[in-house]
Structure 1
Amino acid sequence: MDKYRLLLGHLTKHHKTLGMSFLSLLTAGGESLFSNVVFQCPCNANWSLPYSLFFLLVPALILLLLGYLLSTKAARLMTGCCARDQGDTSEEIPDKPGYSRMKMCCWRVTCSRITLTAALAPFTWIAVALLGGSYYECAASGNEWMQKYLCQGQKPNCTKEVLQMPCQKTNSKEIQGLLNMLRAQSQMLGWLITLLMVCCATAKFCTFCKSQVSFLQLKFLKIYKKQEKEILTTESKKYATELAERNVKCFFENVRLDSVRIPGSDEWKEISEVIEPTDTAYSALHEYANNRPVRNYAHQNPASD
């Protein structure tokens, strides 16, 4: 039993890394199945190129969008960013030197991290597809420029034979050599994309070298964020239940009960911002607790009516 608990502890501790690895393997397996079962090159001058690009890029785009949609950080960052709030609280924020620049830099860094994580599955799809070679062969055989390039010094009907290469409707040794060259080009592109992914992963580890936070403080920061999230969820359920019970009693008993203090939209917006941790503020909620002045909430909260 202790071994199972130890294994479960390791899985829970490294769930992000294991999840990304599993996603990459699932994407690679899905692409191999997709290319062998669904993809069938039309070997047509008008359709080969767009058909191949569609099968190569559209699934990658869908995976990228899913990566953004399933990202909690992306949802937190984008929620309300396009809204025109008449009650903007930007005037209440003190005009600190470099505050806007720091906020924009934080926003860009967060977007870059979200994009790198979301792009893992799309790049895996494209890399595996290029290593297989079928999409590239079909696209190149239907491209007029590639046909002219491949048929330099070949016999007159070479263009038609190149177009039929992915469908394996020719036994010519010259055409088979051109097909092998296309596969080699495709695999080289696939390995270049794989190398790019490895470089991005290495760059992520290099950021630890420039970190201004020590290892133990970073570990404490992760523990704090986890505890803050759990306690915020627990307290949110508590206050939501209290508010719901109060409103239901007002409805059935036809009496006005004491109001329940619920933060306003501006306050929710403040603690939902994405910030870079500092020695004085580990999260937006921490910064809110440090800088928010004490207010008088004797008036009734509109949310509790």
Structure 2
Amino acid sequence: MDKLRGVLDFCIHHQTVLSYSFVSLLTAASEHIFSSVVFKCPCDSGNMLYGSIFLIVPAFILFLLGYVVNPKTWHLLTGVCSLDKRAICARYCQTLVLVTASASVAPVTWLAVALLGASFYECAASGNSLIKSIMCKDKGQQCQDLVAKIPCNPKFSEEVSKEALSLQAQSQLIGWLLIVVIMAIALISTCVKRCRSPVSYLQHKFQATYLKKEEEVFERKVQEHATRLAERNVDDFFGGTDPASFTTPSNTDWQNISLLYTFDPQKQYYSMLHAYVNERRGSSNRVMQGDQNLLVSELVDETSARESGF
């Protein structure tokens, strides 16, 4: 029982990295299935189009799905057309970067695994006239015809690429370069973001913990409040009586606490709900002004990654 509890605690504390790892493994497995079962290079003039579609289109679809399944996407979009765009543009762009980074995990994994596997790139590159001319420099049309047939017969690669990198080698080099570039960008952006943080390490951790707890309590209260309201309405409908008074937040209340909030070192508020309660109803817009430079919605993701060793 203690071992099971330990496993559960580990999964909870490392849920962000575990979820990204699961997505990456699932994507890699899907790529392997596609390359070994579905993909069949035509080895003719359609090589480039066929190989490019298998390399790029699945990655683009995974990228779009990453946006669709991320709750922050819908947090950004819901009601945005009715808000003052100039006042919230920077905050929305900042959150959009985070959403895009999360949505990029699966497509980048697909591209990296596909390039290391080399099947898609080999097919696409063998139909590219520029690559053909480079690999068959001063060798004539017959060599270029052999390049187009390389995906179907690897022996042709030995005849063509004696002086140049083979198509598989090119693909794998590009794959490793993509991995290195992505890792470097992730490390540099994380370091820059941490250096610009207006709060200390421990306060940063406290803020993230508060946000998690606030979300848990809020979800529980939403369920309880919605249940009581539904029960009152159903009872009054079947009972034929006038509904009893029931206090629920107004549309303005909901809109105020749904706005994106950035941390202001001058005010110890950790969320829009926290600011709204302390600034009183109807005046919470005041906390949206001033020098605010840390988007609070980043904290949960950052702390999860930090606890996971990143």
**Shorter-normalised TM-score: what interval?**
0.7 to 0.9
Tell me, which stretches of 5 or more residues in structure 1 are unaligned? 91-98, 296-305
Among residues 201, 224, 231, which one is paired with 2:217 in the alignment? 231
Aligned: 1:258 with 2:244: yes
Matched residue, 1:78: 77
Question: Any residues of structure 2 matched to 1:127-138 within 5 Å, and which?
Answer: 127-138=112-123
Q: Which moved more, 1:64-73 or 1:21-30?
A: 21-30
Matched residue, 1:281: 269
Q: Secondary structure at the match of 1:167?
A: coil
TM-score normalised per structure 1: 0.84
Distance 1:53 1:273, change over 3 A: same
Among residues 210, 216, 226, which one is paired with 2:196 in the alignment? 210
1:122, distance to aligned residue in structure 2 (A):
0.5
Q: Which amino acid aligns with 2:64?
A: L
**CA–CA separation in structure 2 for the residues paired with 1:175 and 1:200:** 36
1:170, distance to aligned residue in structure 2 (A):
5.5
Q: Tell me the alpha carbon deviations over residues 95-153 of structure 1, each in whole angstroms, 9 at most, x when there is no partner.
A: xxxx955x322211111111111101101110111111111111111122322222211
**CA–CA separation in structure 1 for the residues paired with 2:72 and 2:163:** 47
1:179, distance to aligned residue in structure 2 (A):
8.6
1:2, distance to aligned residue in structure 2 (A):
2.3
Q: Which amino acid aligns with 1:24?
A: S
Q: Secondary structure at the match of 2:151?
A: helix
Tell me, which stretches of 5 or more residues in structure 2 are unaligned? 284-310
Q: If you compute each CA radius of gyration, which structure gives the higher value, 1 or 2? A: 1
Matched residue, 2:307: none
Moved over 6 A (4+): none
Matched residue, 1:22: 22
Among residues 111, 116, 124, which one is paired with 1:126 in the alignment? 111
8 Å CA contact retained: 2:28, 2:110: yes
1:25, distance to aligned residue in structure 2 (A):
2.2
**CA–CA separation in structure 2 for the residues paired with 1:65 and 1:187:** 26
**CA–CA separation in structure 2 for the residues paired with 1:127 and 1:233:** 38
Identical aligned residues as a percent:
40
Q: Tell me the alpha carbon deviations over residues 241-284 of structure 1, each in whole angstroms, 9 at most, x when there is no partner.
A: 12111111221111102222222223212211222233432112
Matched residue, 1:143: 128
**CA–CA separation in structure 2 for the residues paired with 1:107 and 1:3:** 42
TM-score normalised per structure 2: 0.82
Q: Which amino acid aligns with 1:16?
A: T
**CA–CA separation in structure 2 for the residues paired with 1:217 and 1:169:** 59
Distance 1:170 1:192, change over 3 A: closer
Matched residue, 1:291: 279
Q: Secondary structure at the match of 2:80?
A: coil
**CA–CA separation in structure 2 for the residues paired with 1:189 and 1:172:** 18
Distance 1:289 1:156, change over 3 A: same
Q: Secondary structure at the match of 2:246?
A: coil
**CA–CA separation in structure 2 for the residues paired with 1:213 and 1:134:** 48
**CA–CA separation in structure 2 for the residues paired with 1:56 and 1:222:** 38
Distance 1:253 1:104, change over 3 A: same
Q: Secondary structure at the match of 1:256?
A: coil
Distance 1:192 1:241, change over 3 A: same
Among residues 78, 88, 93, which one is paired with 1:108 in the alignment? 93
Q: Which moved more, 1:174-183 or 1:35-44?
A: 174-183
**CA–CA separation in structure 1 for the residues paired with 2:65 and 2:44:** 32
Q: Secondary structure at the match of 2:166?
A: helix
**CA–CA separation in structure 1 for the residues paired with 2:15 and 2:90:** 29
Distance 1:177 1:275, change over 3 A: farther
Question: Any residues of structure 2 matched to 1:43-62 within 5 Å, and which?
Answer: 43-45=43-45, 47-62=46-61
